[in-house]
Amino acid sequence: MMITSIHNPKIQRVRALLQRRSSREEEQAFVIEGARLIQEAHLSGVNLDLVLISSQPSPRTVQLAAELAATIPVEEVSADLFKRISDTENPQGILAIARQQPRDLPANWDFLVVADGLRDPGNLGTLLRTGAAAAADGVILTPQCADIYSPKVVRAAMGAHFKLAILHKNWEEIILLCRQRAKQPARLLVSNVESGSPCWQVDLRQPLALVIGSEAEGISPAARQAADQHIIIPMPGQIESLNAAVAAGILLFEVVRQRYT
């Protein structure tokens, strides 16, 4: 039977998970939208509680819903109602409630990214996506970061949630994690716009944790104090700083260049 009311309990649950961090934390669940992300989550072993499909779906959406229906509850929603609850401007006609299933950090990790107070959801999601693309072992979030399960972060991350170990730690815990790494301690390298060694002159092949600060506030005092070394991206132009996600992309792929070429 098609769902047509905004007051339906399943619709109310989706709206709460989309709109409130407290609901996501209480349920340990979040919403993903679009056929590509839902299929990727399913193939990655993420538990899906519920799938909602628009009454005017695309052929790809119909095929995916049919595959998922064998093991997951799939409900049809009127097209107008689906547009009302969707968090995207152009809904793809399918969304799912997924369980938060954090991945464990490998014991022999050698490349971490630390998001130091990144509050912008788009930047944080892009950082997660870039970290996954650069084969980072994990991303650590300090307490001031945006919610990684907010719709904007999930959308910008493009499936990185299903590939990366994502941990929440304070600076004492981050320092301990690096110092007590098995066999060889990892260095804490802090990206700094003020001073430091040019990134391509620093050996990035050894175990490391790369700290990326927020665009608005920069690196926190705790990160500055913890740093083993400060690194910069030389900018010959007359611009003070780069977007945090752009800077992260440059630095992460300098790590890739040094390690894989």
Tens digits of pLDDT across the chain (261 residues):
899 999 999 999 999 999 999 999 999 999 999 999 999 999 999 999 999 999 999 999 999 999 999 999 999 999 999 999 999 888 999 999 999 998 999 988 999 999 999 999 999 999 999 999 999 999 999 999 999 999 999 999 999 999 999 999 999 999 999 999 877 999 999 998 778 899 999 999 999 999 999 877 889 999 999 999 999 999 988 888 889 999 999 999 999 999 999
Are 223 and 205 within 8 A, CB to CB?
A: no
The reported pLDDT for the residue numbered 195 is 81
Domains, the chain, in order of start with CATH, read 9-99 (3.30.1330.30), 111-260 (3.40.1280.10)
Rounded CA separation 165/209 (Å): 14
Written as six digits, the tokens of 63 are 């095929």
Backbone phi and psi for residue 109, each to the nearest 5 degrees, phi listed first = -55, 150
pLDDT at 194: 77
Strand pairing class (94-99; 187-191): unpaired
Cα–Cα distance measured from residue 127 to residue 222, given in angstroms and rounded to the nearest whole number: 21
In DSSP terms, 229 is beta-bridged to 189
Enter the tokens of residue 17.
Answer: 């998970």
pLDDT of residue 127: 98
Residue 192's pLDDT is what?
Answer: 81
